[in-house]
Amino acid sequence: MGPPGAGKGTQAIKVSARLGIPQISTGDILREAMKNGSELGKKARSFIDSGELVPDEVVTGIISNRINNEDAAGGFLLDGFPRTVEQADALNVMLDSSGLSIDHVINLEVPDDTVRERLLKRAEIENRSDDTKEVITKRLENYHQQTQPLVEYYKAKEKLLAIDGNGSLDEVNLRINSALGV
Ligand code: ADP
């Protein structure tokens, strides 16, 4: 978990490679669907391009399918999901019904000013349709309103690993590995 621009995607790739488990990113799955012009992509585009979250039932459906794939049988790392309390509750139900549970929730802590700067820089390089000034502001607002409550939610469940997300990618990665003990 972490605000947009916290480095979730980059760190998720590194951690999943280290653990030998798939990284499952709702953002990547949705962007791929938009690129392919599938029904899912068409449904998601208006939300993503305006900085809103895609409806809970859409992303919950994606995850429920994806974690039942064979490659996820030995565990998986979720990136960008859950992002609302409703999604977290739905995830608990899904996992319970398969006899699974969450080991850890990694929260990358980065101040708003820093993520705003990073996202604007990324806008110049990657050309992501949701990395414009207005949409970044909206995504940050929605993060604080809808996703940040999950920090307390997982703290209460004693799952949360708070990681300082400032610094280089390698520095942050070392902090995550040491918090995970891997
Ligand atoms: P970032 O965290 O930098 O915004 P992501 O790739 O994780 O990037 O997400 C991009 C967009 O995809 C989000 O702004 C949102 O519209 C949509 N999205 C991704 N994951 C979810 C989710 N779990 N619930 C709702 N919308 C999501």
3-state secondary structure of 79: strand
pLDDT, one tens digit per residue, over 13-57 is: 999 999 999 999 999 999 999 999 999 999 999 999 999 999 999
Query: DSSP letter string over 117-178?
Result: HHHHHHHHHH--TT-SHHHHHHHHHHIIIIITHHHHHHHHTT-EEEEE--S-HHHHHHHHHH
Judge whether 170 and 145 are in contact, CB under 8 Å.
Answer: no
Instruction: Tell which atom from ligand 1 comes closest to the C-alpha of 81.
Output: 23
Which parts of the chain register pLDDT below 70?
A: none
Q: Write down the catalytic residue from 45, 122, 138, 159.
A: 122
Q: What is the pLDDT of residue 127?
A: 86
Q: Classify burial at 19, counting beta carbons within 10 Å of its beta carbon; exposed 0-12, middle 13-18, buried 19 or more.
A: middle
Q: How many C-beta neighbours within 10 Å does residue 129 have? A: 13
Report the C-alpha gap between 75 and 91 in whole angstroms: 14
Q: What is the pLDDT of residue 54?
A: 98
> In angstroms, what is the span from residue 144 Cα to ligand 1's centroid?
13
Q: What is the pLDDT of residue 42?
A: 97
Task: Among 1, 28, 30, name the best residue to mutate to test ligand 1's pocket (greatest count of ligand atoms within 8 A of Cβ).
Answer: 30
All domains of the chain in start order, with CATH: 8-174 (3.40.50.300)
Residue 175 annotated among the catalytic residues of the structure: no
